[in-house]
Amino acid sequence: MVNSKRVWLGALAGGVVWLLWGIAMNFGLLMSRYMTAQGQGFMLKTPRYPIFILVWVVTLFVLAWVGSWLYANVRATLGPGPKTALKVGLVLGFVACFPVNFYVSAWVPFSRFIPLGWMFELGVGAVLATLVAGFLYREK
């Protein structure tokens, strides 16, 4: 039986880790490239959606919950521990990051480094969040 309270705890902690990782990636690595792309007219200077940041943060926490929930459900089959959390995080990260960023890197005329950075933000973030959730998860 899945311990729902621990799934939520893992989602909260994993979401915080994922959010911090995303902030580091976007402000530390990608911001100068965003400004270049904006200067060239390839990116908007403000988002089309005024609450984009709020929705993005909520999305990261929802994805962290998915990772936590998946880990809790597959550990009976794959075994508890970081190896299982890593596998779940890698699958979640691939699904979250690869398709759209591959598309963007092929069709959007700004630096391919930006979607690569987004892939690292989502892919590594998924792994980190799921590892944290797995570390915090305990059976009832």
Residue numbers of the domain that contains 95: 4-136
Mean pLDDT of 89-94: 98
| Three-state secondary-structure class, residue 38 | helix
Q: What confidence category does residue 107 fall into, taking pLDDT thresholds of 50, 70 and 90?
A: very high
Query: What's the rounded mean pLDDT across residues 107-118?
Result: 97
The pLDDT of residue 27: 97
Buried b (16+ CB within 10 A) or exposed e, 107-131: eeebbeebbbbbbbbbbbbbbbbbb
The whole-angstrom separation of Cα 83 and Cα 85 is 5
Q: Summarize pLDDT for 25-74 with one digit per residue, the tens.
A: 999 999 999 999 999 999 999 999 999 999 999 999 999 999 999 999 99
- Residue 140 in this model has a pLDDT that exceeds 90: no
Number of structural domains in the chain: 1
Q: What is the model's pTM?
A: 0.95
